[in-house]
């Protein structure tokens, strides 16, 4: 990541998880098996709820298919190979090797890559790709709760068609309750996630196995020849069917993103040893059931094959179980939105946002009110606008496949720039994934008019905001650096022109060079200097965690002036008072004798603006509405003084 992107002070926030941990091995966090079980409850909710709608959508979606053996076998074969190539190979086998000090996810991958090529002409391309993937994630995080919960509640219509009118009200109540619970945190209810999800996956496997035992011939679809036959017989519809088949692999990146929480070993164990088999058994079971039915019965069953597989007496309990699973999947996506936003703030792409810690022991349990309420409003509007999960599924795939293509681009760079693979080896492997992910993305393009426009719109808006903030902050720092007075000159001139008072004054600065504007304004208006004047800069590294031993650095200047640099990873919280107390400075940073001085910038129109006026206005609005640096740095509220300054960009 460029220095402009990662060297922040007022654009950082706390959060993330408690610290670096290599969870891939046994240790204080429990055995590999225990971690694998915990991962089932948190990581696999999104991909685990896909059987509710993925198989169905390939036949009743925007481009319906005939319910004959050729198409059913072709579709389930495509699902199997999509899951194998995209999830098992691309994400679990390959990308999980690309950890940034144990952390995964697109932003962690970008930080890892830009650490090698950040100073080259291609570094900004990797950064922009990562930012756009992050922007697409917000569209995905809005659609996932809506489509998942709706698809589960729609199971009521299988139990009793007369209950159809209650689907939307029940779904809305569940979703509103879900977002209302976020403020309380998920530590307590999170303990129930694993047992519920394990039960849910076992039910998937049992339902599928029953159908497969009655019609074992469906297992022949493991042979990719059935997918090839599908394409040979109906090329256009087969290609368009990929737009619905990809719904079976939504949530793939969650495995990579949550690698830092559980470790690659436990995640691979739970995926290959439990989750993937359960999912495949269910998909093949749905296919076996449809093949076995007469055309009329198959046409009815395909409207909700997941629930029709269950005996009538068990359908209502299955609706409750599926609803609980989608509730958990939605919870994971919302928590992911908080985590991704926190990383984006740390890396300088999002302004400070108010954030609450919902657990006294787990730093990763965070709540961001602004993100939560924006997601809730968007989800409610989606449910009311699209009305059912089938319509929402049309909007789902474009964001997922777009992020997959971006991950493939970054993976290709990873092969060459970080892992130093030979081109003759890297290019063919990358080409295979480009072909597969590109085909899925292309198949989703025709769905844009039917709802695919929504995640793209959200993505472009988010991308504009993210890049505008990063660009604006860079321009502000550049302008402030241009007029900054060297600290050595300032110290000599201020020595005899200001009264010294007892105590320590800490002036926050975005740069390690020059004098912060708050210090200049303080001496100009108050004409006093504290006994000790500290210029403090917080730097965010392009790695998730920084060794606590390398957290702080203090340099003594002349006449009672000091420069302090604190370093944090983009997954860590910036607790400035705690870090200062841990520095060995002979009691210099006694919080009862220390005052913090912050600068608040006001933008002025510039004759030569650094970016278009409309973007300047957006940046100005974001700057005005950013959360206070006092909360973000965890500064003591009664020890903070804020001084304003004006800046032209």
pLDDT digits (tens, 9 = 90+) for 253-284: 878 887 777 788 888 999 999 999 999 999 99
Residue 566 forms beta bridges with which residues?
A: 538, 552
Distance CA 552, CA 254 (A): 33
SS3 387: coil
Q: What's the pLDDT at 359? A: 60
Looking at the structure, tell me whether residues 432 and 513 fall in a common domain.
no
Looking at the structure, tell me whether residues 97 and 246 fall in a common domain.
yes
Looking at the structure, tell me whether residues 494 and 350 fall in a common domain.
no
- Taking alpha carbons only, the member of 178, 116, 176, 134 closest to residue 419 is 116
Distance CA 312, CA 580 (A): 64
Distance CA 594, CA 638 (A): 10
Q: Which of 456, 471, 502 marks a domain boundary?
A: 456
Per the domain annotation, does 47 fall within a domain? Answer: yes
For 535, list phi and psi in degrees, rounded to 5: -100, 115
CB contact set of 154 (below 8 Å; sequence gap of 6+): 167, 304, 388, 389
Percent of the chain with pLDDT over 90: 32
Q: What's the pLDDT at 364? A: 56
Looking at the structure, tell me whether residues 624 and 499 fall in a common domain.
yes
Residue 556 forms beta bridges with which residues?
A: 562
Distance CA 175, CA 559 (A): 60
Q: Which of 441, 456, 471 marks a domain boundary?
A: 456
Highest mean pLDDT among 108-117, 192-201, 433-442: 433-442
Specify the length of the chain in residues: 649
pLDDT at 309 over 50: yes
Distance CA 476, CA 481 (A): 8
Per the domain annotation, does 465 fall within a domain? Answer: no
pLDDT digits (tens, 9 = 90+) for 438-496: 999 999 998 888 888 888 899 999 999 999 998 888 888 887 777 667 777 777 777 66
- Taking alpha carbons only, the member of 262, 275, 466 closest to residue 364 is 262
Distance CA 616, CA 647 (A): 12
Helix runs in 586-645, H state only: 613-625, 629-632
Classify residue 180 by burial, with Cβ atoms within 10 Å: 0-12, 13-18, 19+.
Answer: exposed
Range in 19-28, 34-43, 46-55, 596-605 with the lowest mean pLDDT: 19-28
Helix runs in 453-567, H state only: 453-482, 487-495, 517-525
> What average pLDDT score do residues 527-532 get?
85
Q: What's the pLDDT at 189? A: 58
Looking at the structure, tell me whether residues 299 and 401 fall in a common domain.
yes
- Taking alpha carbons only, the member of 375, 316, 306 closest to residue 146 is 375
Q: What's the pLDDT at 199? A: 94
Looking at the structure, tell me whether residues 412 and 541 fall in a common domain.
no
> What average pLDDT score do residues 386-394 get?
84
Residue 360's pLDDT band, with cuts at 50, 70 and 90, is: low
Q: What's the pLDDT at 190? A: 61
Q: What's the pLDDT at 11? A: 35
Distance CA 348, CA 539 (A): 11
Please check whether residue 378 is in contact with residue 457, taking contact to mean a CB–CB distance below 8 angstroms: no
Q: What's the pLDDT at 461? A: 93
SS3 113: helix
The DSSP-derived string for 131-177 is: HHHHHHHHHHHHHHHHHHHHHHHTTHHHH-GGGGGGHHHHHHHHHHH
Looking at the structure, tell me whether residues 492 and 452 fall in a common domain.
no
DSSP letter for 610, please. Answer: S
Residue 436's pLDDT band, with cuts at 50, 70 and 90, is: very high
Range in 72-86, 103-117, 370-384 with the lowest mean pLDDT: 103-117
pLDDT at 433 over 90: yes
Record the pTM. 0.82
Looking at the structure, tell me whether residues 450 and 301 fall in a common domain.
yes
pLDDT at 10 over 80: no
For 154, list phi and psi in degrees, rounded to 5: -65, -15
C-alpha dist (Å) from residue 97 to 43, 50, 472: 18, 26, 35
Q: What's the pLDDT at 168? A: 92
- The boundaries of the domain holding residue 304 are 30-456
Per the domain annotation, does 463 fall within a domain? Answer: no
Helix (H) and strand (E) counts in the chain: 29, 8
Distance CA 563, CA 519 (A): 13
Residue 6's pLDDT band, with cuts at 50, 70 and 90, is: very low
Q: What's the pLDDT at 515? A: 82
Range in 110-114, 210-214, 230-234, 442-446 with the lowest mean pLDDT: 110-114
Q: What angle do CA 272, 190, 354 make, to 5 degrees?
A: 115
Q: What's the pLDDT at 19? A: 39
Looking at the structure, tell me whether residues 123 and 46 fall in a common domain.
yes
> What average pLDDT score do residues 547-554 get?
86
Residue 120's pLDDT band, with cuts at 50, 70 and 90, is: low
pLDDT digits (tens, 9 = 90+) for 165-176: 889 999 999 999
> What average pLDDT score do residues 597-621 get?
80
Please check whether residue 324 is in contact with residue 153, taking contact to mean a CB–CB distance below 8 angstroms: no
Pairing of strands 366-367, 356-357: antiparallel
Q: What's the pLDDT at 185? A: 66
Residue 616's pLDDT band, with cuts at 50, 70 and 90, is: confident
Range in 216-230, 330-344, 450-464 with the lowest mean pLDDT: 330-344
Distance CA 396, CA 412 (A): 25
pLDDT at 631 over 70: yes
In CATH, what number is assigned to the domain containing residue 148?
Answer: 1.20.1740.10
Q: What's the pLDDT at 319? A: 93
Three-class HEC string of 228-239: HHHHHHCHHHHH
> What average pLDDT score do residues 11-22 get?
36
Instruction: Look at the chain and report how many structural domains it folds into.
Output: 2
Looking at the structure, tell me whether residues 326 and 242 fall in a common domain.
yes
Per the domain annotation, does 106 fall within a domain? Answer: yes
Pairing of strands 366-367, 640-648: unpaired
Per the domain annotation, does 2 fall within a domain? Answer: no
Q: What's the pLDDT at 642? A: 82
Per the domain annotation, does 589 fall within a domain? Answer: yes
Helix (H) / strand (E) element for 254: namely helix 252-257
Per the domain annotation, does 381 fall within a domain? Answer: yes
> What average pLDDT score do residues 125-146 get?
87
Looking at the structure, tell me whether residues 190 and 152 fall in a common domain.
yes
Distance CA 473, CA 467 (A): 10
Per the domain annotation, does 579 fall within a domain? Answer: yes
Classify residue 464 by burial, with Cβ atoms within 10 Å: 0-12, 13-18, 19+.
Answer: middle
Distance CA 332, CA 163 (A): 28
Looking at the structure, tell me whether residues 528 and 618 fall in a common domain.
yes
Q: Which of 456, 473, 506 marks a domain boundary?
A: 456
């Amino acid at each position: 990541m460029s220095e402009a992107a990662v060297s922040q002070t007022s654009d950082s926030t706390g959060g993330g998880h408690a610290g670096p941990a290599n969870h891939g091995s046994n240790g204080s966090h429990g055995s590999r098996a225990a971690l694998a079980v915990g991962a089932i409850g948190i990581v696999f909710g999104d991909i685990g709820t896909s059987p509710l709608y993925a198989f169905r959508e390939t036949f009743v979606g925007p481009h319906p298919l005939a319910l004959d053996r050729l198409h059913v076998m072709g579709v389930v074969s495509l699902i199997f190979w999509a899951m194998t190539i995209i999830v098992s190979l691309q994400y679990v086998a390959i990308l999980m090797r690309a950890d940034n000090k144990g952390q995964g996810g697109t932003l962690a991958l970008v930080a890892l890559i830009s650490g090698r090529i950040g100073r080259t002409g291609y570094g900004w391309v990797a950064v922009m790709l990562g930012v756009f993937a992050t922007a697409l994630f917000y569209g995905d995080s809005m659609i996932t709760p809506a489509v998942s919960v709706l698809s589960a509640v729609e199971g009521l219509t299988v139990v009793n068609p007369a209950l159809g009118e209650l689907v939307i009200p029940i779904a809305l109540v569940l979703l509103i309750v879900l977002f209302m619970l976020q403020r309380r945190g998920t530590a307590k209810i999170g303990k129930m996630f694993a047992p519920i999800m394990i039960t849910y996956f076992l039910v998937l496997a049992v339902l599928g196995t029953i159908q497969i035992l009655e019609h074992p011939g469906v297992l022949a679809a493991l042979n990719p020849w059935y997918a090839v036959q599908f394409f040979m017989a109906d090329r256009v519809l087969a290609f368009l069917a990929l737009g619905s088949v990809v719904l079976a692999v939504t949530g793939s990146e969650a495995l990579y993103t949550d690698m830092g929480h559980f470790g690659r070993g436990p995640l691979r164990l739970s995926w290959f040893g439990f989750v993937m088999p359960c999912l495949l058994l269910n998909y093949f079971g749905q296919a076996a059931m449809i093949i076995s039915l007469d055309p009329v019965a198959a046409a009815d069953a395909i409207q909700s094959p997941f629930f029709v597989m269950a005996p009538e007496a068990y359908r209502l309990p299955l609706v409750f179980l599926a609803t609980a699973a989608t509730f958990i999947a939605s919870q994971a996506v919302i928590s992911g939105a908080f985590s991704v936003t926190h990383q984006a703030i740390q890396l300088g792409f999002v302004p400070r946002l108010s954030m609450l810690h919902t657990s006294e022991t787990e730093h990763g349990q965070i709540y961001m009110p602004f993100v939560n309420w924006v997601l809730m409003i968007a989800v409610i509007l989606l449910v009311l606008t699209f009305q059912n999960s089938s319509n929402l599924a049309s909007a789902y795939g474009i964001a997922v496949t777009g992020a997959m293509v971006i991950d493939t681009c970054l993976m290709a760079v990873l092969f060459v720039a970080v892992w130093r693979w030979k081109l003759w080896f890297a290019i063919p492997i990358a080409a295979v994934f480009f072909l597969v992910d590109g085909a899925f993305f292309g198949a989703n393009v025709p769905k844009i008019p039917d709802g695919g426009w929504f995640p793209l719109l959200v993505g472009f808006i988010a991308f504009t905001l993210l890049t505008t903030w990063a660009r604006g902050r860079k321009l502000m720092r550049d302008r402030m650096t241009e007029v900054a007075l060297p600290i050595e000159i300032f110290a000599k001139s201020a020595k005899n022109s200001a009264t010294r008072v007892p105590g320590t004054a800490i002036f926050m600065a975005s740069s390690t060079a020059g004098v912060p504007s708050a210090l200049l304004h303080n001496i100009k208006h108050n004409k006093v200097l504290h006994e000790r004047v500290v210029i403090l800069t917080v730097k965010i590294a392009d790695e998730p965690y920084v060794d606590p031993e390398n957290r702080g650095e203090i340099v003594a200047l002349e006449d009672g002036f000091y420069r302090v640099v604190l370093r944090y990873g983009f997954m860590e919280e910036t607790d400035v008072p705690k870090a200062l107390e841990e520095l060995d400075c002979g009691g210099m940073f006694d919080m009862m004798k220390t005052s913090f001085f912050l600068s608040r910038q006001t933008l002025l129109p510039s004759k030569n603006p650094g970016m278009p006026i409309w973007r300047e206005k957006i940046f100005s609005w974001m700057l005005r509405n950013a959360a206070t640096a006092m909360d973000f740095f965890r500064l003591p509220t009664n020890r903070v003084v804020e001084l304003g300054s004006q800046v032209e960009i």
